[in-house]
Amino acid sequence: MNLEVDLLFFDTTSTYFERDEPDPEPVDEDGVARAAFRAYGHSKDHREDLPQVVVGLAVTRTGIPIRCWCWPGNQGDQPLIRQVKDELREWKLARVVWVADRGFQSAENRRYLQRAGGHYIIGEKLRGESKEAKLVLARQGRYHTVAGNLEIKEVRVDEGTMRDRFVVCRNPEQAERDRVIREQLVAQLEQEIADSDRLDAAERAKLAGGLQAKRALKRFVRRTPGGLLRIDRAAVKAEAHLDEKFLVRSSDPTLTGEDIALGYKQLLQGERARDMKTTLDLRPVHHRKEDRIRSHIQLCWLALLLIRIAENQTGETFAASCSACTRAPSGAALA
């Protein structure tokens, strides 16, 4: 199909099964147990209570899914992109820039993607202990608009052996939404800890544990030396500094800052693999055996491939075409 594969977007998702128990671990001929296929893992559908499998797609810049993978449900994301790079080596592709989100960020993955002259554009976590992210965010500089509501600021870091380029991206239209959500979270937290000073130590510890289990709230709560629960105003202020921003790093010296930012935004094409779950009814999967589950997912991938080809040829989305057909009289739809 004369595909351009100078940029390859890789992303994973998961799909769950309506069953109470995961598969038993199979044992090979040597008596060694291997991972069960339908297993509990980090669910991207927020259904950790159900066994699942992990699905990965490599997608071109025009949204064409060139290959599909399927792994056991407890497989973590980190090593997958290395396996994908190895398996696509057989295709003898020319220079490729891999684009992936923050879930695949690690020094090992970055080194691996640079083998044989490859490069990467990969998301960097703004929060956490990343020395690079803190250094980049502390740098001053002007933003400039590159497309629509996307503004960027490129920062070069040259420390030791690190030669990566970092691009700070922000969307001013997102800032107000981020502020409102943060204020709602702080108000909710204030309400939950309002009477906590009256609790005994054990009850207060139980409340603190419950708040720590809520990912959106835990970063805004702190405990005083006396064990009292308070709003962490410093954390709230630091969070406000990150409104509307995301950070991208790249190893490619030939790309412009705009290329890096827009390339990462195109990762949305890879994330459209979720259409397999919605438009193509990937779920529910009415199969039990591993080979049949894999076949079902491969058939959904082939359907997605045909949809993307049709969309690129017509300039219309499949969802919009389906909506037009359902609204039109039957004769018009057939015509």
Contact 248, 169 (CB under 8 A): yes
Q: What sign does the dihedral 100-105-107-109 (CA atoms) show?
A: negative
Q: Where in the chain is the domain with CATH 3.30.420.10?
A: 7-123+254-322
pLDDT band at 2 (very low <50, low <70, confident <90, very high): low
Residue among 313, 318, 310, 308 nearest 64 (CA): 308
Contact 59, 8 (CB under 8 A): yes
Mean pLDDT across the stretch 126-135? 78
Residue among 92, 114, 217, 95 nearest 164 (CA): 114
The one-letter amino acid at 254? T
Contact 152, 131 (CB under 8 A): no
Give 122: exposed, middle or buried? Use CB within 10 Å, 0-12, 13-18, 19+: buried
Looking at domain 7-123+254-322, its CATH architecture is: 2-Layer Sandwich (3.30)
Residue among 68, 7, 74 nearest 43 (CA): 74
pLDDT band at 121 (very low <50, low <70, confident <90, very high): very high
Task: Check whether 330 has a pLDDT greater than 50.
Answer: no
Task: Check whether 22 has a pLDDT greater than 80.
Answer: yes
Which contacts (CB < 8 Å, 24+ apart) does range 89-92 have? 89/116
Contact 244, 138 (CB under 8 A): no
Vertex 323: Cα angle to 322 and 329 (nearest 5): 95
Q: DSSP labels for 169-188?
A: EE-HHHHHHHHHHHHHHHHH
Count of residues in the chain: 335
pLDDT digits (tens, 9 = 90+) for 259-287: 999 888 888 655 666 677 777 778 888 88
Better-predicted residue by pLDDT, 246 or 95 = 246
The one-letter amino acid at 304? L
**In the predicted model, what is the mean pLDDT of the chain?**
84
Helical H segments across 51-168, by residue range: 80-88, 107-113, 131-138
Contact 101, 330 (CB under 8 A): no
Task: Check whether 72 has a pLDDT greater than 90.
Answer: yes
The one-letter amino acid at 211? L
Which tokens belong to 313? 């040829």
What is the pLDDT, as a whole number, of residue 294? 94
Beta partners for residue 72, in sequence order: 53
pLDDT band at 20 (very low <50, low <70, confident <90, very high): confident
